[in-house]
Amino acid sequence: MTETVLTVLADGVLVATLNRPDKLNAFNDQMHLALRAAFQRAHDDAAVRAVLLTGTGRGFCAGQDLGDRDPRKGGQAVDLGHTLDTFYNPTLRLIRSLEKPVVCAVNGVAAGAGANIALACDIVLAAKSARFIQAFARIGLVPDAGGSWSLARILGEPRAKALALTAEPLPAEKAAEWGLIWKAVEDAALMDEALALAKSLAAGPTLGLGLTKRLIQAAATTSLDDHLEIERDCQQQAGRSADYAEGVAAFLEKRKPEFRGQ
Ligand code: T3D
């Protein structure tokens, strides 16, 4: 059976590549489980210090495989609340709760849940030819995979509503201009740039980077007073790490730090 998500671990980076190119990497059950397993591995394996998510072929991910939702096949309608609980939401939670950087290289069209999985990653680079489509309105659904949350938070209501209600494609360069993603890069440079970024993050102070991710994500839902306390606790923890000692020693010795992720 073809692997629906290819995974390779090298230089501390777990590269996870969605691999159903003939369907623009749309999700079937097998791919859901494989992607979740990849992120679970990233949680469990200390050798993984960053993740790079991308897709094979001309698309990044076209969301749910609609062939698996064909109403013409008859039978009982699929309970989409159940599929979100079973497939999308656990993966989204794994990505957000992973205290290691997740880079996403959007190599082509990202539609429906495919767009929103990309937006759940920490640093999103996209090929200039890529576009983000909240395709849900075209088929009578609502944005899922965290999309209604992240679009509203990142873009504010006017742009979030326009994208979600019209399902108009948002080109990568515009997505970067709006702050929805980090950068749009030349198509040919995407993978090199994304991999270099993921490797440099994997060579970083993993504990401190993970705590930084936690803090920035918590900011949206905490008051400044509460946040200052969480920040203090995280700094206390980072300050006890071997990587902090190494960072300071390297600075004082005018050399490059050698972080070990501890
Ligand atoms: O169901 C649940 O569990 C709830 C959760 C839902 C989450 C969701 O993601 S709902 C949204 C599902 N996705 C979509 O509605 C997007 C559907 N796809 C498109 O609108 C277009 O394909 C794109 C805009 C993404 C790309 O357009 P284009 O013109 O570049 O490519 P294409 O020709 O439409 O697609 C190429 C092939 O991929 C084509 O197959 P073929 O004709 O060559 O054999 C097409 O059918 C297939 N494909 C694309 N998207 C899907 C798909 N096959 C199955 N499911 C797809 N989502």
Report the candidate in 185, 199, 193, 189 with the shortest Cα–Cα distance to residue 15.
199
**How far away, in angstroms, is 148 Cα from ligand 1 center?**
20
243 ligand 1 Cβ < 6 A: no
| Residues 152-206: tens digit of each pLDDT | 999 999 999 999 999 999 999 999 999 999 999 999 999 999 999 999 999 999 9
CATH for 5-202, among 3.90.550.60, 3.90.226.10, 3.40.50.510, 3.40.50.880? 3.90.226.10
The residues pairing with 18 across neighbouring beta strands, listed in sequence order, are: 5, 55
pLDDT of 2 > 90? The answer is: no
Q: Where, residue-wise, is CATH 3.90.226.10 in the chain?
A: 5-202
**CA 86/CA 136 separation, integer angstroms:** 19
Name the pLDDT band for 93 (thresholds 50, 70, 90): very high
pLDDT, tens only, 125-154: 999 999 999 999 999 999 999 999 999 999
Domain with CATH 1.10.12 in the chain: 206-253
Quick one: what percent of the chain has pLDDT higher than 90? 97
What residue owns the CA closest to ligand 1's atom 53? 23
User: Ligand 1 center to residue 111 CA distance, Å?
Assistant: 8
DSSP code string of 177-191: HTTSSSEEE-GGGHH
CA of 112 to the centre of ligand 1 (A): 9
Average pLDDT, the chain: 97
* pLDDT computed for residue 76 by the predictor: 85
pTM beyond cutoff 0.85: yes
154: left (phi over 0), alpha (psi -120 to 50) or beta: alpha
Q: How confident is the model at residue 12 (pLDDT cuts 50, 70, 90)?
A: very high
Fold of 206-253: Lyase 2-enoyl-coa Hydratase; Chain  A, domain 2 (1.10.12)
Rounded to whole angstroms, the maximal C-alpha distance in the chain is 70
Query: Percent of the chain, pLDDT > 70?
Result: 100
